[in-house]
Amino acid sequence: MSAANSSTPVFYTIGYEGLGIDKFLDRLSKYEVKTLVDIRNNPLSRNASYQLDRCCP
C-alpha cells in the first residue's frame, strides 16, 4: 500500500463481531483512529456492551 497524499482522505473498515468493547476500543487506539463513523442501516447491537448508553455515556 502506498502512502496517502495528506489532502486525500483515507477510509478503513473495522469489524467488531466477537470483540468485547474494551478490545474494540483498544484496537482503535492502537491504530490511532481519530474518527469512527457508523454506517449500518440499523445502528443497534445485540451485544449489550455496544449499547450506546454503555459505551458512549
Q: Which three cell numbers stand for residue 38?
A: 457508523
The model's pTM is: 0.59
pLDDT single digits (tens) 10-53: 888 888 778 888 888 899 999 998 888 888 777 677 776 666 66
Give domain limits for the chain: 1-57
- Answer for the pair 6, 34: CB distance below 8 angstroms, yes or no: no
Residues 6+ apart with CB under 8 A from 28: 14, 36
Total residues found in the chain within this entry? 57
pLDDT single digits (tens) 39-51: 877 767 777 666 6
